[in-house]
Structure 1
Amino acid sequence: MEWFESWFDTPYYHLLYSNRDYTEAENFITKLTSELQLPPSSKIIDLACGKGRHSVFLNKLGYDVLGLDLSRQSIEFNKQFENQTLLFDVHDMRNPIDADPMDAVFNLFTSFGYFDNEKDDKNVFQSVHNVLKPGGYFVLDYLNEEYVRKNIVPESIITRGDIDFKICKKIEGRHIVKDIQFEADGKPFHFFEKVKLHTLDAINSYATECGFERVKIWGDYQLNDFNKDVSTRCINLFKKKA
């Protein structure tokens, strides 16, 4: 079992990241869909949807949404939100997606770069390309590799409720590794996250090879232009070639 398969399925993962700003996320989604000029009832996949907060909001905006995630527990949780235009399913993003042709696929908040094998990274782009309509959009919201290298915080403690998460970060080769240790219910726990520091060129080469063109890069959730030195995010907008 790979690290993300075990860690993402625990309640502690969701607790650690429970501070994620819903207002910021909803403002980002509103701006993004407006920028793409996606009309109501457009079909969108939220790829690696987690507990569905973006899927649910996209659906409230009038879109037909399919939320996909590897975590069975997250998908079971999300089933409570389903309706005729909002569905959830368990799916590994490296595999082909069995769905009607889509207008857009969103992969948000660093839900890419988990795989050691470069072929797996390419498979993600290929599976997205295959499920999109010609001219469809693929939004890959990723970390800014240069910003991460310059601003890494080696050690920190994050408190959620009565649990103190000790976080240690380091860069190993092409990866940023986050070591996570804590105690809960009298037991010690130890997990880690490992994300590849993809360069802009590497990401674009995967996209080009699979039949995309990159049409825009934003540097934050306010959709400001990307600056490799100061931007906190690297939000790639790809378009499937007709």
Structure 2
Amino acid sequence: MSEDHKPTINHQEPSTKNWFTSWFDTPYYHILYKERNYREAQIFMDNLTQYLNLPDKAKVLDLACGKGRHAIYLSQLGYTVLGADLSENSIAEASKNSNTHLSFKVHDMREPFEEKFDAIFNLFTSFGYFEDEADNLKTLIAIKDSLSETGFAVIDFMNVNQVIETLVPEEVKTVDQIDFHIKRYVKEGHIYKEISFEDQGQHYHFTEKVRAFSLKDFQELMDEAGIYLLDIFGDYKLKKFHKTESERLIMIFK
């Protein structure tokens, strides 16, 4: 993928194979989601790092970091942080914030790192994208293999029970004078979000597809990967996880 990568444009039924390689690399992805709550994310990072009691100058990996907003904040908390993402455009943008304690690189989460980390964070449902089910297990094993002996990993995923129960089938969201027409549905164990819009006379159509992993699904994958699940939380204030009510499924493991 190059810096001048153009968005994939679909006029017919969109292909979902590796959809993230095109959608995440477009400016439209960041436009649609730019109103995400930064303060809430910072509170989550504060709570998480305090709970983990990470050592001073701990090495932290933000896996699937996007443009690096969480990696930047983690470095401000005093950690040495690497942000990694598959999107070259996102990493190019994030790298503008690099310093001696903060760096970024293009990386596929299915592959382990040579260096070891005291903590690995995979935040805001950045898991379960792959077409091949085996890649989800491969990612967990890569995370495990990239941890130091005393390191912890965190996956922050949606609570699929709550998401499916409250799914909004259709809506129009207007951001920066672009009308994003969004359709959501569940099909064959995945949650789909189809996004259609026009900009400068051009029609675009993208599809997000995420595996609807439940806690039980994760537990089975983690058992297979040889991972020990330490704790589970249901929101960014680290409240107890409730299967039907919690907004998030936050898993701490090693």
TM class, shorter-length: over 0.9
Aligned to 1:91: 107
Aligned to 2:125: 110
Cα deviation, 1:132-154, whole Å, max 9, x if unaligned, reads 01231110000111112211110
1:137 alignment partner, one of 144, 152, 159: 152
Q: Give structure 1 stretches of 5+ with no counterpart.
A: none
CA distance in 1, matches of 2:252, 2:131: 24
TM-score normalized with structure 2 length: 0.92
Cα deviation, 1:170-222, whole Å, max 9, x if unaligned, reads 00010000000011111111001000001211111222222221111111111
Instruction: Give the 5 Å matches for 1:205-216.
Output: 205-216=220-231
CA distance in 1, matches of 2:18, 2:146: 26
Is 1:31 aligned with 2:76? no
CA distance in 1, matches of 2:225, 2:207: 31
Aligned to 2:249: 234
Is 1:18 aligned with 2:34? yes
Q: Which runs of 4+ in 1 moved over 3 A?
A: none
1:158 alignment partner, one of 145, 165, 173: 173
Amino acid aligned to 2:116: P
What is the deviation of 1:95? 1.5
Q: Give structure 2 stretches of 5+ with no counterpart.
A: 1-16
1:77 alignment partner, one of 63, 68, 93: 93
Aligned to 1:65: 81
Instruction: Give the 5 Å matches for 1:113-132.
Output: 113-132=128-147
Identity of aligned residues (%): 46
Amino acid aligned to 2:45: I
Is the 1:40–1:61 Cα contact (8 Å) retained in structure 2?
Answer: no
Amino acid aligned to 2:181: K
Aligned to 1:183: 198
CA distance in 2, matches of 1:181, 1:48: 24
What is the deviation of 1:116? 2.2
